[in-house]
Amino acid sequence: MKINKRIISVATILLCLYFLAGCAAVTHLSGEKPQVSLKNISIVPGETTLVPRFKIDLHLVNPNSTPLPLHGIFYTLKLADEQILSGASNQLPTVAGYSEEDISLFADVDLAGGVKLVKQLLNGKISNLDYLLDAKIDTGKFSPSLHLQEKGKIIDVD
């Protein structure tokens, strides 16, 4: 069986181009890890619904020369170990190289978690109101997700 040298050459070139394209897509992995931090959590004023709506502001820093595309985010917020809200968004910007970007997320309260929290507050089972924000940001197929886990105290209940 005789194999055409031209077919082998074309296949070899295509294979090399495929691997080079993959390497180009992964190049920003070798740079500095992008940073994400919590700027603010607030209740959205002026809403007419009975269930409050929250606004979560995040700050992202891209310390690399290549743009950082943000494809999606999934986030949860717990108060006193009760999940109060969760959400997802795919309406995110691309952070240019060597720049910063603020993003705002909006979410409604998880009614079941809110009822459990109020019940604990009324029964005096909570000594302080701690929060935990957990966010996972997808930056594309060839790069690891960014994770944010921010803990803090809102108020002392005592």
Give residue 148's pLDDT.
83
Confidence of residue 2 (pLDDT cuts 50, 70, 90): low
**Higher local confidence (pLDDT), 68 or 26:** 68
Give residue 17's pLDDT.
52
Give residue 28's pLDDT.
44
3-state secondary structure string, 23-55? Answer: HHHHHHHHCCCCEEEEEEEEECCCCCCCCCEEE
How are beta strands 94-95 and 53-62 bridged, if at all? unpaired
From the number of C-beta atoms within 10 Å of its C-beta (0-12, 13-18, 19+), residue 135 rates as buried
pTM exceeding 0.85: no
Give residue 25's pLDDT.
46
Confidence of residue 63 (pLDDT cuts 50, 70, 90): very high
Digit-coded pLDDT (tens) for 124-142 = 877 778 888 899 999 887 7
What percentage of the chain carries pLDDT values higher than 90? 24
The answer to whether residues 158 and 127 touch, using CB atoms and an 8 Å cutoff, is yes
Structural domains in the chain, sorted by start: 31-156 (2.60.40.10)
The residue-averaged pLDDT of 61-73 equals 92
The residue-averaged pLDDT of 60-85 equals 90
Digit-coded pLDDT (tens) for 91-124 = 999 999 999 999 999 988 888 887 888 888 788 8
Rounded CA-CA distance 96/94 in Å is 6
